[in-house]
Structure 1
Amino acid sequence: MAARSLEFRHLEVFRALMRTGTATGAGALLGVSQPAVSRLLAQTEALAGFPLFERVRGRLVPTALAHALHEEAERVFIGIEEISALAERLCRRAPRRVVVASVPLLTLSVLPRAARAWGELRRPEALAVHSRTVGGVLGMVATRQADLGLVTGAPPVPGVRSLLLARARAFCAMAPGHRLAALPLVQAADLDGEAYIALSREEGRQALVDAALDGSGAHPVEVAECRMTSGAAAMAAAGAGVTVVDAFAAAPFLPAGLVLRPFEPAVTVEYRLLWPEEAPDNFGRALLVQAIRAAVRSVKAEVDRHLRGAGAVKAGA
């Protein structure tokens, strides 16, 4: 007899448990009983061959393997949701949607401007924006669940075309009145003993800063690690500590008073635009790419104006 494999109902329960953290909450979300959820979870773990959750004070805490499985499972549900949405649009004879997958910081800084420009073109296609990790964006583009992807530091992927959007130099970011704000230039050594908000180690962002810190003798005091770089910028603006971010992460928080100072040694971040290879341009892709590139230039110009006003250097590399 062939071995059983995970079925949709197992993934559905797994997803609900990841969202709620309890069998009772997952049952309420799915409209089934708590014992049924527990039974399906046991089946899911048996079929997967490894534990998905640890039981900690009445809650289900996902294991590292559960997080990896969840990211893949989300793609299944995104595909199903897109198919359902497509069926509804076909029924209503509505135009197609253009699916854009983006890392969160570009969702906040670049895509609002690009969406406005897209709307001004009076195109019939609406945008559907999904914020994901770099791996999540790559997965959606590679499997053609997304028409376009916006990422940072992405490796080459077979079947995915890539276009350089920008290279941006990172700055030391802090709240107004911070002692480092009085410096025209922040050296890595200046971070010694400072409350520091780390960037995502999973995606390699913090490794860039760590490389700059090596040899400086500085030992910042890490108060938080933010998987979302925009979250680190928000924390810095609120006075939780300093961080090292580029123009695209910083731009949304300049109105809140976020202070930027040049950082040495230089940390440079590369952003790329992705799309599935050989995918037909049946939605005005070239026009949307133009809108995104114009939005990138707009963000950099805005941050450059801010830096000139503060007597700092430009946002580009």
Structure 2
Amino acid sequence: MLHLRQLEAFRAVAVAGNVTAAARQLGVSQPAVSRLISSLSKRVGFDVFMRDGGRLVPTQEARFLLGEVDRVLAGLSNIEKLVEEIHELKVGHLRITCLPGFATTHLPKVIAEFMKERPGVTMAIEPDRPERILDWIISHQYDVGISSDHLKHPALETIPLMMKSVCVLPPNHRLKDREHITPMDLDNEPFIHARRDSDYFSLVKAAFDASGARLNPLIESRQFGLACRIVAGGVGVSVVSIIDALEYVDEGLILKPFKPVVPHKLSILYPTHTPRSVITMEFIDLFLKSLEPYRIQGSASTSY
């Protein structure tokens, strides 16, 4: 079995070009480094260094090992960093980008709870449209993204979520006493809806089409919060994410279950191949827990 100390000595000599500098870097004696290199050569069955002038350089065979050794040692360094963060009470800086609706509704409460228990943490929050969120996460400008739909990209890892939707009605609407609302109940009712090119609009329209009800578009809006506020003001009806709708109950908005089920798709995003810090993982845990009451039962999410 290869030993970690052998790999460290191998990399140190490969970088320094001599045993003396490698020993100084590792904080051990020169004979100790020489013994580690010798034992490594015996273990792999070939010489790992040859002399080139006054330097030690990896042999052709050893060059194939060097890249993998770098990755192994980098992985160990990441583990050590995580351990250090745990011992330092999770200090650090967390960068979050999210949909504008989340920035003004559900997310602030989650962030407040998160920050109260972590006085050493600082945070940056940037709301924007899904296209920008995607670009920022792919380019590693942010640690966590909260976006609409279920996005896929080779540079992304995602946790897909299926959130509940509700029908929202203005105060004293004719349907206020119904147990639940169907598309036929809203036949030709002035409707405030999501963008026509969104998956969510397609799902809502499909529900109307399947029941034979007429969808009567009145206002198109990217944000559920705007739709809720307009409906609460007495204009039109809508079907929106329950998380957004709950923010406007005090303004007189009436919430009713909508059948059939129309899921609002969300994704938690983070960059592929980038080690996640303790505070990033803890924030994702807390955020997922906060969403549990609003998720469609039986919908699965991908564990990170």
TM-score range, shorter chain: 0.5 to 0.7
Which of 197, 202, 217 aligns to 1:222? It is: 217
Q: What is the DSSP-based 3-state SS (H/G/I as helix, E as strand, rest coil) of the residue aligned with 2:207?
A: helix
Task: Choose from 169, 172, 195 the match for 2:167.
Answer: 172
Amino acid at match of 1:285: T
Which structure has the bigger radius of gyration? 2
Please tell me whether the aligned partners of residues 159 and 269 of structure 2 are also in contact (alpha carbons under 8 angstroms).
Answer: yes
Give the AA of the match of 2:270.
W
Match of 1:107 in 2: 103
| Structure 2 residue ranges without an equivalent (≥5) | 1-90, 298-304
SS of corresponding position for 2:94: strand
Deviation at 1:160, TM superposition (A): 0.9
Instruction: Confirm or deny: 8 A CA contact 1:114 1:294 kept in the other structure.
Output: no
- 1:213: Cα distance to partner? 0.6
Partner amino acid, structure 1, of 2:210: G
The answer to whether structure 1 residue 253 and structure 2 residue 220 are counterparts is no
Residue in 1 that maps onto 2:279: 284
Q: 1:153 aligns with which of 146, 149, 153?
A: 149
Question: Who is 2:233 aligned against?
Answer: 238
SS at match of 1:128: strand
Asked if residue 130 in structure 1 is aligned to residue 126 in structure 2, the reply is yes
CA distance in structure 2 between the partners assigned to 1:136 and 1:205 by the alignment: 19
CA distance in 1, matches of 2:285, 2:261: 29
| 1:204-219 superposed matches below 5 A | 204-219=199-214
Moved over 4 A (4+): none
Q: Distance in 1 between matches of 2:285 and 2:151?
A: 23
One-letter amino acid of the counterpart of residue 181, structure 2: V
Structure 1, unpaired ranges of 5+: 1-94, 301-314
Could you say what secondary structure the match of 1:135 adopts?
A: helix
Which residue in the other structure is 1:46 paired with?
none
Deviation at residue 283 of structure 1 after TM alignment: 5.9
Matches within 5 A, 1:51-130: 97-130=93-126
Which of 181, 186, 190 pairs up with 1:186?
A: 181
Question: What CA deviation, in whole Å up to 9, does each residue of 1:49-69 have, x standing for no partner?
Answer: xxxxxxxxxxxxxxxxxxxxx
The percent of aligned pairs where both chains have the same amino acid is 24
Aligned pair count? 207
Q: Which residue of 1 aligns with 2:268?
A: 273
- Secondary structure of 1:157's match? coil
Q: Any idea what the Cα deviations from partners look like across 1:11-61, whole Å, max 9, x if unmatched?
A: xxxxxxxxxxxxxxxxxxxxxxxxxxxxxxxxxxxxxxxxxxxxxxxxxxx
Matched residue, 1:264: 259
- Preserved CA contact (<8 Å) 2:164 2:241: yes
Q: Is the 8 A contact 1:149 1:275 kept in 2?
A: yes
C-alpha distance in 2 between matches for 1:280 and 1:168? 28
Q: Secondary structure at the match of 1:127?
A: strand
Please report how far the alpha carbon of residue 248 of structure 1 lies from its aligned counterpart in structure 2 after TM superposition. Answer: 1.5
Shift of 1:131: 1.3
Which residue identity lines up with residue 105 of structure 1 in the other structure? G
- Within the candidate set 268, 275, 296, 1:316 is matched to 296
SS of 2:141 mapped into structure 1: coil
Give, in whole Å, the separation in 2 of the partners of 1:244 and 1:148.
Answer: 27
Match of 1:186, SS state, is coil
Q: TM-score, normalised by structure 1?
A: 0.60
User: Could you tell me which amino acid in structure 2 is paired with residue 268 of structure 1?
Assistant: P
Shift of residue 147, structure 1, vs aligned partner: 0.8
Q: CA deviation at 1:96?
A: 5.9
Distance 1:132 1:154 in 2: 17
Q: Is the 8 A contact 2:165 2:257 kept in 1?
A: yes
The whole-number CA distance in structure 2 between the counterparts of 1:278 and 1:257 is 47
Once residues 292 and 109 of structure 2 are traced to their aligned partners in structure 1, the CA distance between those partners, rounded to angstroms, is: 10
Does the CA contact (< 8 Å) of 1:104 and 1:230 recur in 2?
no
Partner of 1:140: 136
Structure 1 residue 193, shift from structure 2 partner: 2.2
Higher mean alpha-carbon deviation, 248-257 vs 137-146, is at 248-257
Normalization by structure 2: what TM-score? 0.63
In 2, Cα distance between equivalents of 1:157 and 1:257: 41
Q: Aligned partners of 1:270 and 1:278: how far apart in 2?
A: 24
